[in-house]
């Protein structure tokens, strides 16, 4: 019975990651089509994702130094903009073409051959200065999860009000 619960949890996480990835790709593609790459950096969607990624990057997923890279979900231009927002993160944030990924296995950093982690954020459209987002992490079947966020806009900036 316990094995069935673990399997169902893993399946649920993969479904969430897949849905978030598909929805995120569509919104990122629309943002890219709206003009120069830096133009979307001023959008609410981008600012919300920066706040959530900042929270996820502060988590100590890699206290023992077991991950050599962090990969972020999204288009190349979107990820490049996020890398500019967090240029000195340790472990470094890298573009997805530097990742080797096999189902149910820990992602591998092609540059080092060591384990890596994937972070993702799916932001919902804000309403009346309040937004919700889901932040996910994945480093193999046993190391994955998500947080649900509520963000509020204060002085033009999105800040996390709660994370669960």
Instruction: Look up the pTM and report it.
Output: 0.73
Number of separate domains in the chain: 1
Listed in sequence order, the residues at least 6 apart from 48 whose beta carbon sits closer than 8 Å to its beta carbon are: 121, 123, 126, 131, 133, 151, 158
The residue that leads in pLDDT, 121 or 34, is 121
Partnered with residue 71 across adjacent β-strands are: 94, 118
pLDDT 10s digits, 38-67: 555 678 999 999 999 999 998 866 556 688
Mean pLDDT over residues 76-98, rounded? 91
**Residue 156, exposed/middle/buried by CB under 10 A (0-12, 13-18, 19+)?**
exposed
- Reply yes or no on whether the pLDDT at 5 is more than 90: no
Average pLDDT score over the chain: 79
Q: Give me 98's structure tokens.
A: 């530097």
Q: How many residues does the chain have?
A: 164
User: What pLDDT sits at residue 2?
Assistant: 52
Listed in sequence order, the residues at least 6 apart from 112 whose beta carbon sits closer than 8 Å to its beta carbon are: 68, 69
Nearest of 120, 107, 106 to residue 23 by alpha carbon: 120
Lowest mean pLDDT among 16-20, 111-115, 150-154: 16-20
Interhelix angle 2-33/44-58, nearest 10 degrees: 140
Mean pLDDT over residues 72-99, rounded? 91
Residue 112 domain boundaries: 2-163
- Residue holding tokens 């569509």? 26
């Amino acid at each position: 019975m316990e094995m069935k619960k673990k399997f169902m949890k893993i399946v649920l996480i993969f479904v969430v990651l897949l849905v978030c990835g598909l929805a995120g790709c569509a919104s990122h593609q629309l943002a890219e089509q709206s003009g120069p790459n830096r133009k979307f950096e001023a959008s609410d969607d981008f600012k919300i994702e920066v706040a959530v990624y900042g929270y996820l990057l502060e988590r100590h997923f890699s206290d023992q130094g077991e991950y050599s890279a962090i990969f972020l979900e999204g288009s190349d231009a979107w990820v490049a903009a996020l890398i500019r927002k967090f240029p000195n993160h340790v472990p470094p944030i890298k573009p997805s073409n530097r990742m080797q990924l096999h189902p149910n296995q820990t992602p591998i950093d092609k540059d080092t051959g060591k384990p890596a982690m994937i972070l993702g954020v799916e932001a919902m459209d804000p309403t009346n200065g309040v937004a919700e987002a889901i932040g996910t992490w994945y480093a193999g079947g046993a190391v994955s999860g998500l947080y649900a966020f509520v963000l509020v806009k204060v002085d033009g900036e999105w800040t996390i009000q709660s994370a669960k």
